[in-house]
Amino acid sequence: MAPDSALRLCANVHAVGLQLLVFDKGPLVTDSTLPVCPQCGMDHTYPDGELLICPDCAHEWSAHAPASDEDSGPRIIKDAHGTPLADGDSVLLIKDLKVKGSSTVIKKGSKVKGIRLVYDNGDHDVDCKTDQGQFILKSEFLKKA
């Protein structure tokens, strides 16, 4: 009698221990804590170093930044100090800019009125009409006036 009940007790303890083990490991193996893909909305996201990757549409994004607003809606073009620029703003140059392929230099401090933002030209993103002509300049060299 005694050996038999001891065996059952042992089996019960073993079973409970196993369940606890599985429960403890659960959160580590599930992907439910990863965000869904901001591009296609699928939830097959997996981490790869600093990035999260969606196998469904191959979108990659940073695990640390929330779905960035660069991907959704128009890009915000900012001046050298991070102030958002808008069409029609006036800006000042914060450094001399040499115009490629010419000897023209647009001087630091030059004021440009009525800029136009350009979204499809890389980092040359501000269309400026100056006394010396029309140029597309980098917003990082401009300061909102």
Q: Which stretches of the chain bind Zn ion, using CB under 5 A?
A: 37, 39-40, 54, 56-57, 59
DSSP 8-state class, residue 144: E
Ranges of H-type helices in the chain: 2-29
Contact 126, 136 (CB under 8 A): yes
Which region, left, alpha or beta, applies to residue 27 given φ > 0 means left and ψ of -120 to 50 means alpha?
alpha
- Closest approach of Zn ion to the CB of residue 45, in Å: 8
Q: Of 38 and 80, which has the nearer Cβ to Zn ion?
A: 38
- Closest approach of Zn ion to the CB of residue 43, in Å: 9
Q: Of 35 and 114, which has the nearer Cβ to Zn ion?
A: 35
- Closest approach of Zn ion to the CB of residue 55, in Å: 8
